[in-house]
Amino acid sequence: MIDEQTKSSKGSFWRELPILLGVAIIVAFLVRQFVVQTFFIPSGSMEQTLLVDDRVLVNKLVYDFRDPERGEIIVFVSPDSWRSTPEHEDYIKRVIGTPGDRVVCCDPQGRIQVNGHPLDEPYVYPGNKMAPQKFDIVVPEGRLWVMGDHREASGDSLANYSNSNQDIMQATIPMDSVIGRAFVLFWPFDRGTWLTVPDTYKDVPAPTSGG
């Protein structure tokens, strides 16, 4: 019985290195394109949860299997009317209302209500009101109502609702514009944390048929 063994000739590693590098580049491209991508935070609209120049990882695959949920932080391609300049394309905000939800500001304690449930939002920027102005809307089918955690410095659904003469379609974003969910703050390392959904959203009831 002959014991056969594989042998590698001298220099084979260097011949194979370009192939290995090519495969690594392709895999990295596919991961970035379809699975996970890094994004940096360009403004203070999500303070104090996310600060300027923070880096987050965004899961680009999750919403292929389900819709965005209340309380999640998402990255999306902004409507043209939201942009201060054409290149400001990708926005990051928190989902407050999903299709059919009635979102109202505010209850006697100044809290936003979703389907009658008041939200306790400790992540809102210190000193900010939960919303800079009163509103009462129902989120249209296939769209999302999103807000920044720095409520008084965010070009979000409420800001665009006001700027568009209360046009709910201008104020909300289509779900198919969502790139993915920001799930971890990874830079700077000393502030690294999972971006989880706050407990207050667990008790939000489903919307009624009439909004």
Alpha-carbon span 79 to 101, nearest angstrom:
21
> Are the CB atoms for 184 and 192 separated by under 8 Å?
yes
Out of 45, 78, 154, 157, the active site residue is: 45
Residue pair 146/177 in contact by the 8 Å Cβ criterion: no
Token pair 């209360």 in the structure block, residue: 166
Mode of pairing for the β-strands spanning 55-59 and 178-187: antiparallel
Respond yes or no: is residue 134 known to be catalytic: no
Catalytic residue at 93?
A: yes
Catalytic position from the list 43, 60, 78, 93: 93
Contact at 8 Å (CB) between 59 and 181?
Answer: yes
Instruction: Point out the residues that are catalytic.
Output: 45, 93
